[in-house]
Structure 1
């Protein structure tokens, strides 16, 4: 069977949409899957049923055909001439910061994903006896890897939380799952930095949390269980000073070959790469991700990292999710705006009051909006959509911020 299919033929492999597929059935389907003629890029578009998507991806990898996940035939024709040599797997993705959803294709080898499988299983304490739940569509890189990784372990993977022993989720998705009664005993969390309050909530419920930092372009960079992250096995990390903070660069066998259609990926001559994320050292070997340099807000001469501030706001009682934005301001340069999703029982004014007590003055949002925080298909906060809504004036009425005399003098 495929390098990714390591379970016994009679064991459960897939359970999506109520359909059960065993390893033997999946292996037979992979072997028999029809592929388009020639040796060109095979399209696997959005909306492909989960078992069919996995079958098609594995069939292409087995037969040496490059496959585009998340794109149709027109996308494949557009992207194929620009793919780096050696591309086996390309995942079409749209960034959480882009309101237009402009796609880009991250190109990699099959080996760059296989190389990390054993290390993740060990760090997250997962194995063949687990049943893994994914919380997003499989055309998204994070969820596709989670599904393939489960098959590599010989475990079962599906879309139901009931009966699952572990779930892959973004912090935003995890915060919502913690409100349910179906939360599995373990969570593998990625896609954005995880705040201390969310980690504490999960721990209080007895959830075994493994957090990792990575990107579609970098794959795994760091992982941790209780706060600070340390380099993922096989990864070298450097924190390089920039005007916005320390930019994280990584060198590993897990890096993508390249990106078609733009994106944040940059490389140096020594084999290190970055997508512009910033980190702060913690202790002698650890660090924490504080956000992306291009999400920095400069207000009244102070640089505020949006994702770092969002983590502080989510730590306030009753806040389920938060996005911090900047809007132009004549005197401040940029004014901080917060969009918060509340748990349904918390008074919005109480959240604003708590923020005034706990946040430094330089980080305190000047305008607040209460709204459900939209997410991308990968489960990340759709910052670009909220930025567009703020500019268009469609977020609804702002909450009174009750500025102090000091605030009035600065604004």
Structure 2
């Protein structure tokens, strides 16, 4: 299994070293291995092939996950914060899947070890299957790329059921480090855990990182032990990066773009800020971590070449061990600068869906390529630029609109005067969807007053379908349970007249 062999190793050579700490509870490596080796029986006395882990965040959840891996069960970790009805529905689907696919009890042959949950187009998360080998390969690559060692203390303040945090737990155990989680999230709780456990690494989404940096600066809480920040889920904005640099100017920041189904795709590194200068996103140095394609040159194909002015932020070069290419709808590799579907090859990819395959997400293409249909392009240096997530695409007056590209145009014009900008679509009987933009200024009242006019001017050169019709000032960010910005939540606020999104003239 992906990390059990390493857990056994670390329990033998440093059994008293803390492995998992959540709240006031902790397990060292010897204790975690002992918990993982405890026998468990399903009703009727037979060992089950499936482990449905429905526990609050804590060391018991980590032990249950390790126990499932040790018993060679297929694990599914549920978020205790989800409604009981949804958790019950997911458990039922998992049992039906195991029965329909004749998943053996304690299988000897390699097979799925994880039922991962990924958001879908409906209210019920879809489930993908992942083999132990895919995580094992991923751990080996990320251990080196993220500079992990037995001395690393990783704080992941998000819910353990989220794939990024569950992976961070396995990754930490693989490398012999210490994993720190929170029973309940708040900025103060995260900062207290960061200081109390002298965490050296943070793994989180940018919105949560901004909350921590703001709170730490407001309360004078330094983090001298923190040397490394790993961010995913969205790009760091200039405003957020500026806050982080004020708080921990010495920390190395690594961002990655990926998907639960694909694993790591591309990554970049922001070096610690010089003592004499603040860091800016445009000064980011993209660290080369691998090539792209399958070794051959680009094949001529059809697609839309994008002008530089429309280019969203770069997300980095291919992650180690990942082959990256841009393909058109016919599966033809496109030349540099031409937009198409972001596709990968490699051992980090999942095995497919157990349920919820709506045809709009993960797909396997010819030649061994896989995609979740995100749109982007590679430049001449092999750097990946994202045009937008396929699931975010909006149909406005018959035109396909990727909100990310509209946001990029407005963010470029506003610079550090804008903390956040989110574009979403709300129902409109005439156009199908009406484009709206919600913003959170980084400045004072004067900045707020002039922001809508600035943003309208920024999109003036875009097609009419790409220009938001209304602007709203955010009183707080529309977030998912895992802390990621949600266009769907924003649209719901606007359609319901929620005061958290106020119309701005």
TM-score by length of 1: 0.85
Aligned equivalents of 1:218, 1:18: Cα separation in 2 = 35
Partner SS for 1:114: helix
2:59 aligned residue: 51
Aligned equivalents of 1:84, 1:241: Cα separation in 2 = 37
Conservation of the 8 A alpha-carbon contact between 2:41 and 2:48: no
Aligned equivalents of 2:228, 2:460: Cα separation in 1 = 34
Partner SS for 1:309: helix
Instruction: Judge which range, 84-93 or 116-125, deviates more.
Output: 84-93
Change (3 A) 1:400 1:48: closer
CA deviation digits over 1:111-133, x for unaligned, max 9? Answer: 21111112212222232212111
1:404 aligned residue: none
1:77 aligned residue: 95
1:155-170 equivalence runs, <5 A: 155-159=177-181, 160-162=193-195, 163-170=198-205
How many residue pairs were aligned? 397
Conservation of the 8 A alpha-carbon contact between 1:84 and 1:107: no
1:303-382 equivalence runs, <5 A: 303-311=400-408, 313=410, 316=414, 317=416, 319-327=418-426, 334-342=433-441, 345=444, 347-362=447-462, 363-371=466-474, 372-382=476-486
2:119 aligned residue: 94
- Structure possessing the higher relative contact order (Cα contacts under 8 Å, 6 or more residues apart): 1
Change (3 A) 1:239 1:349: same
Instruction: Judge which range, 127-136 or 100-109, deviates more.
Output: 100-109
Greater radius of gyration (CA): 2
2:373 corresponds to which of 266, 276, 290:
276
Aligned equivalents of 2:133, 2:265: Cα separation in 1 = 16
2:31 corresponds to which of 12, 19, 25:
25
Please report how far the alpha carbon of residue 107 of structure 1 lies from its aligned counterpart in structure 2 after TM superposition. Answer: 0.9
Partner SS for 2:368: coil
1:62 aligned residue: 70
Aligned equivalents of 2:417, 2:20: Cα separation in 1 = 36
CA deviation digits over 1:223-261, x for unaligned, max 9? Answer: 111354111111111112359942101111011111122
Root-mean-square deviation (Å)? 3.0
Conservation of the 8 A alpha-carbon contact between 2:342 and 2:374: yes
Does residue 246 (structure 1) correspond to residue 345 (structure 2)? The answer is: no
Please report how far the alpha carbon of residue 110 of structure 1 lies from its aligned counterpart in structure 2 after TM superposition. Answer: 1.5
TM-score by length of 2: 0.70
1:391 corresponds to which of 470, 495, 500:
495
Partner SS for 1:38: coil
Does residue 214 (structure 1) correspond to residue 258 (structure 2)? The answer is: yes
Instruction: Judge which range, 101-110 or 173-182, deviates more.
Output: 173-182
Instruction: Judge which range, 79-88 or 164-173, deviates more.
Output: 79-88
1:106 corresponds to which of 118, 123, 128:
128
Aligned equivalents of 2:262, 2:21: Cα separation in 1 = 29
CA deviation digits over 1:321-342, x for unaligned, max 9? Answer: 3321123557766532112345
Partner SS for 1:338: strand
2:296 aligned residue: none
